[in-house]
Chain A
């Protein structure tokens, strides 16, 4: 269409706008739908972008490498290596880590050397105003007048320098997140004592410190952990000097990637894709609302358009006017949606951050800062959505004959053709989804299949409901004229409600699918934890020597029935991070360790050191099956292992291989052997745990089975918190769509109700019938949502989950959940229809009679 003249365009826009003035509810539905769609979409995009930016930042901080020089897993490094490497040109910085028990809690101690930190880094926890007393942070916690510290010193004195001196010279400083200090009941300047009475440095709050950790100078950390002269690892902050590239190897060390950068991006890619898919679904649901409102508005404005065309308005100008109107709505709704999206992202960020941390060890920054691209992208999505919603109207307006009749029953007439088109579309979408799944495979294919199924079901919904209503109409014939009319009227009403019902169907289907997947996962996970956590106590010592002492000490305790020492080495196989775990051959594992599948004699093969059990996700990533051979790189050359069993390892991002402890010791002499599981009389567990925690200088970490299980489940809940929130929001949006559609239909339906009233049906009966019809439609939609939901569950469990996380879950269905959702849908529909029905019940008879006078 060509560009229109301005004056007629403005006149047309003014006339079209008058419609919205008379129907603010419809306008609200249109804008609300677009805004909700934009908000859900852009909120998730902001979260994903933020997470990715955090990974990138983490990678960049380390000079792009995120590399560590480390000894064998679990082993420490002599600190002389630090100087040896530096003097050979390696830009390394020492890290000491471990745990201490203090104030009744286990705290991670992180020792760093601030001086060898790479240059040009961001500022940190050292603050202006910090005193020599270690109590600052400007929170008034030290009782000093705010800012008072500044005045007491000459300006310009180097606070940072003082801080550095305080940090590295005795007694040092222990920086901790304010929440950590609050949880421990420590005030700034306090000196907690680790077990064994060793005092830790005075604490100071530092907002940037990791939760649950004390960050202190490397020397202080060594003393606190009993690791004098030892380092946990060396972080590499610069390029490897070519002339001394092999030095770490000659010192028995190896380069490792700290999975802060590329690995994180890779491991979390699936997680973010899940979120993207959800965002898209939410966007589509919001779009349905907008489409419903826009479509309805167009139908209702057909007479107006006809009149304007008769007055000489060009068809192209009418189409332009509608398009401009849509874009205007898109801008308004888009901006509102972006604001909402930002708020949504902020609200969800803490949960997301915890999920990513629990699953992948990823650290997310606390502040969202969406960039211009995000704003532009959100507005673009909003505009695209508005145009999609208005496309039908624009297209029709451009082709509308000047003398077209203003058909108030046009929906009905067009319905038959539309139904055929929708059915064809449904078939097409289903086939396309299946084809895409076949062609793409993987996670993208899974989502394509899911999208195809959802779209197909949505498009088929009107036809299915129409069919059901036709059957009902036939049955109702026998129940009397009023019932017959009601059924026929419901069919008549269907096209107007179709889009809202489609949105409801999608929301219900997604809810059923995601709910069943989540709930199924929870049950499986709980069962699995129950079986997997076979020991009563899990202990980790601070270093190998302490572990030996602790194991010997435990073995001598009568209440400890068995001490099962496990060893661990971390390596990469096929590019994936893998934890190799060695465990002794013990009935605890033989009898209770759950396996997904195993070869006959698998336990014996593992005990003999010939075989390994692989975690499900590792097997899937490496394409391993039972009986396959795997070559594991070890310090003593490749170790060929036969995969004799597969086990579930829900929630782990890295792959795992389980082998016999003794065999592992032969191949990894320096493996980390600080971890042990303790079988004990359950009644003696609390006392034993306390005794272990108080044992030795290294403050072993100890956790009992119940606490471990509770912790695991809590992490689980967090992981699905975002999903659950989106699910609920999607459902709310669908409810709003239904409400909006019914509200806008109410007035138009007067023409259908009036004749019935004129024939003697009381208004009250009409209201009851209306309510019944709406609830019936919602329930019908719910019924159809069940197969869609089950299909969704299957796709999520069998395709998406496997691709995204590497594990497959048993398929569960929860009929109780279906009933709950159906009831919820019915209630939503009833509530939505109530407003419209109330309007009908209060319509004065004169208005009803007037319908006949107004009828064209």
Chain B
């Protein structure tokens, strides 16, 4: 009513409120979307077949032996729409992947709870969310999977067994990771990776991550673990759009783990405006104030830092060995159907710095392992999750193993890395992975102790978690934490369990 305030000037106060309100409204969707990373991009359903075809073909050409080496599919994507079980199982490491129903559903359920807040203008949303949540609930959790138990499958599956008929409900794989990715760059066998360029981002691929884990020891001898991860997910094939219109979403996960505590945090950001991103020369990956970057040219010296509620760390990483290309020159097979990713590791990093957990700051040193992986369709349709290991043996060798749990058994792969950096891909018939005991964590029965065997190498080791509660209760949840290794060789490493 005041003449001046009634004048045309925008009512900033109201606007701000409105904006915040709107932001709030959008926030849920954003998170859901990130978490669920996207069906939208996966979009193309069946038509994606074309894009991924080359992988399949390649697979046919060089089937089983191709060492699949990666750690699991990375990313994830798409919310496996059709399969209730997918939700129950899925998740994984990546942000990218994440997205599945399982990832999305808890969030959406929360969103529904919030729906009665005054503003919510959103009956429609609620319905949608409820629908998803119900679908998820309706889906039984892992137990119903027909066939052998995962353990049995892992241990007994004949190598190279064909992907028998997939249960109808798992057409598109865990979290939709198996969906086709039309318009995105395919992962081609024979692609020659060039560094440092390929340490950077590959926005034409749908999914990508940079993943650092470190096994550390404090001055008082306490064992610690640290994780730093940045996931990239493209909402649409990269086009000419720049700035805010860039179709890239980023998600960061960081954690610090001791025998008695596990603290983690998550960050979300959009690409194109500098809040998150990765450059190759020199390497710099960041989201907000978290950072993993080279100091100076090359990859000789890096730094990593992150912080969240109850933890913070800053590490200096020194490369003491060469980068390692998994699989066939960095082409890492992920399923018998030919899904693959590009997968590069820096397993020979020494780490030094400090970690603070719950206010207690400790000087630490130890060993770290950095992975970089990208793909457009990393999982086959029936793969529900994976179990992945990276191990630093005390004698200087390194080992990476993973099992991708599919409908008819697990797809096993790995790399044996000699102390001098020489890599030997490990085929499915060279690997035995047997869960020894399960423990309920966050309501799920997780196989936290394993026996890992490479019979031809005489390797027989058992792993035990430093902290069984290393559960990453992020938008999509998974287990990721330091492990101790004993048996024919000793060492330390990291384990990742997804899709439980």
Contact = CB atoms under 8 A, between A and B. Distances in A.
B114 to A, nearest CB: 4
Interface of B is mostly: helix
B376 to A, nearest CB: 16
A716 B1 CA distance: 6
A123 B8 contact: no
Nearest to A73: B12
A259 B13 contact: yes
Interface string B111-129: 1101101111111111111
A89 B289 CA distance: 5
Interface hub of B3, B31, B99, B286 (most chain A Cβ within 10 A): B3
Interface hub of B20, B99, B131 (most chain A Cβ within 10 A): B20
Contacts of B119: 122, 124, 208, 365
Contacts of A112: 19, 22-23, 26
Contacts of A115: 30, 34, 249, 268-270
A357 B14 contact: yes
A769 B307 CA distance: 89
B21 A123 contact: no
Given A155-B81, A529-B3, A650-B1, A126 B29 contact: yes
B104 interface: yes
Contacts of A228: 243
B38 A161 contact: yes
Contact of B270 (A113, A154, A539, A708): A113
A786 interface: no
B7 A121 contact: no
B108 A160 contact: yes
Interface in A92-133: 93, 95, 97-99, 106, 108, 110, 112-130
Interface string A155-190: 111111111111111100001000000000000000
Contacts of A367: 118
Contacts of A175: 22, 25
A157 B131 CA distance: 10
A175 B121 CA distance: 11
B147 interface: no
A120 B26 contact: no
Interface of B: 1-34, 36-41, 79-82, 87, 99, 101, 104, 108, 110-112, 114-115, 117-132, 135-136, 235-236, 241, 243-245, 247, 249, 266, 268-270, 273-275, 286, 288-289, 307
11 contacts: A87-B288, A116-B270, A117-B23, A124-B122, A125-B26, A156-B79, A164-B32, A168-B247, A210-B15, A568-B9, A712-B2
A126 B26 CA distance: 7
B288 A120 contact: no
A288 interface: no
B13 A122 contact: no
Interface of A: 54, 57-58, 61-62, 66, 68, 79-80, 82-84, 86-89, 93, 95, 97-99, 106, 108, 110, 112-130, 136-138, 150, 153-170, 175, 206-210, 213, 215, 217-220, 222, 228-229, 233, 235, 241, 258-260, 357-363, 365-367, 369, 525, 528-529, 532-533, 538-540, 568, 570, 579, 581, 649-652, 656, 674-675, 701-703, 708-709, 711-713, 715-716, 719
B1 A126 contact: no
A4 B247 CA distance: 80
A120 B110 contact: yes
Nearest to A244: B289
Given A110-B22, A156-B82, A702-B8, 7 more contacts: A97-B10, A115-B34, A128-B130, A161-B104, A213-B15, A218-B244, A708-B7
B29 A164 contact: yes
Interface hub of A124, A222, A361, A538 (most chain B Cβ within 10 A): A124
A361 B20 CA distance: 13
Contact of B8 (A95, A217, A540): A540
Contacts of B241: 169-170
B15 A83 contact: no
A159 B34 CA distance: 12
A670 B238 CA distance: 38
A649 B4 contact: yes
Contact of B16 (A88, A129, A258): A258
Given A160-B29, A540-B10, A168 B244 contact: yes
B124 to A, nearest CB: 3
A700 to B, nearest CB: 8
Given A157-B39, A160-B125, A701 B8 contact: yes
Contacts of A258: 13, 16-17, 20
B128 A703 contact: no
CB-CB nearest 3 A-B residue pairs: A128-B128, A124-B25, A208-B121
Nearest to A164: B33
A651 B4 CA distance: 10
A692 to B, nearest CB: 11
Nearest to B176: A157
B14 A233 contact: no
A670 to B, nearest CB: 16
B231 to A, nearest CB: 13
B23 to A, nearest CB: 4
Contact of A649 (B2, B29, B131): B2
A154 B307 CA distance: 39
Contact of A161 (B40, B268, B269): B40
Interface of A is mostly: mixed
B17 A57 contact: no
A106 B8 CA distance: 10
B124 A138 contact: yes
Contact of A118 (B27, B81, B249, B275): B27
Contact of B24 (A68, A122, A568): A122
Given A57-B117, A366-B118, A538 B7 contact: yes
Contact of A87 (B22, B37, B131, B275): B275
Given A83-B273, A235-B23, A161 B16 contact: no
B98 to A, nearest CB: 11
Contacts of A164: 26, 29-30, 32-34, 40, 235
Contact of B39 (A89, A161, A207): A161
A480 to B, nearest CB: 59
A208 to B, nearest CB: 3
A162 B26 contact: no
Nearest to A357: B14
A358 B6 CA distance: 8
A225 to B, nearest CB: 11
A540 B33 contact: no
A108 B10 contact: yes
Contacts of B26: 112, 114, 117, 124-126, 164, 167, 215
A370 B26 CA distance: 27
B117 A122 contact: yes
Given A86-B288, A161-B79, A122 B111 contact: yes
A112 B16 CA distance: 11
B39 to A, nearest CB: 4
Contacts of B122: 123-127, 206-208
B459 to A, nearest CB: 41
A305 to B, nearest CB: 53
Contacts of B23: 93, 95, 112-114, 117, 121, 235
Given A89-B288, A99-B10, A122-B28, A158 B36 contact: yes
Contacts of A217: 244
A165 B41 contact: yes
A609 B80 CA distance: 68
B289 A241 contact: yes
Contacts of B3: 528-529, 532-533, 708-709, 712
Contact of B33 (A84, A86, A165, A539): A165
Contacts of A528: 3
Given A57-B117, A357-B14, A649-B4, A156 B136 contact: yes
B9 A124 contact: no
Contact of B104 (A61, A158, A652): A158
A219 B235 CA distance: 16
